[in-house]
């Protein structure tokens, strides 16, 4: 039971309307155009910027869609081989990686493999033919296995940055 004052109301009852108003202010949604969304992104309103982004998107998609032609690939078999070969490298490197991560300090091990992974990922853009893409994807699988397994096996607090 709450102690009632002279007017017959509790302290909590007197302050309830103020608390409700403050809560309403806090919960009020911000104006998306002026404040952005929850991530801070603001809606694009400049027509020139919208046209530029659309033009870049279309060019990137056209480039990606012509990948098979550009690399001289024949049919779906070569494309599927290119996609699937990543997993061969990934599976082959998982066990050796798990053995190595117990012998090398995880922070150095993970950092080195992430750097190698970044280099191999960058090399994917330099590929000129089907064989190069298959090799690049295979090595990408090899470099992804230590990174993904290492992140799962070792908590981030053990890493050296």
Which position has the higher pLDDT, 16 or 144?
144
The pLDDT score that the predictor gives to residue 36 is: 58
- Buried b / exposed e over 51-63, threshold 16 CB at 10 Å, is eeeeeeeeeeeee
What percentage of the chain carries pLDDT values higher than 90? 27
Q: What angle do CA 19, 25, 27 make, to 5 degrees?
A: 100
pLDDT tens figures, 104-148:
887 888 889 999 999 999 999 899 999 999 999 999 999 999 888
Instruction: Quote the pLDDT of residue 141.
Output: 95
Give the model confidence (pLDDT) of 39-96 as tens digits: 666 777 788 888 888 888 887 676 567 787 888 888 778 888 988 999 999 999 989 9
């Amino acid at each position: 039971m709450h102690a009632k004052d002279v007017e017959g109301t509790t302290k909590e009852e007197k302050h309830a309307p103020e608390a409700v108003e403050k809560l309403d202010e806090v919960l009020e949604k911000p104006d998306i155009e002026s404040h952005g969304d929850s991530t801070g992104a603001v809606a694009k309103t400049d027509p020139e910027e919208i046209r530029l982004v659309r033009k870049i998107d279309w060019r990137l998609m056209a480039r990606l869609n012509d990948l098979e032609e550009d690399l001289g690939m024949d049919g779906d078999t070569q494309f599927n081989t290119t996609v699937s070969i990543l997993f061969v490298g990934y599976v082959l490197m998982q066990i050796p990686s798990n053995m190595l991560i117990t012998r090398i300090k995880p922070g150095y091990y993970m950092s080195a493999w992430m750097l190698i992974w970044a280099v191999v990922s960058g090399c994917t853009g330099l590929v000129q033919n089907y064989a190069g893409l298959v090799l690049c994807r295979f090595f990408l699988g090899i470099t992804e296995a230590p990174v993904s397994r290492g992140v799962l096996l070792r908590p981030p607090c053990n890493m050296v940055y």
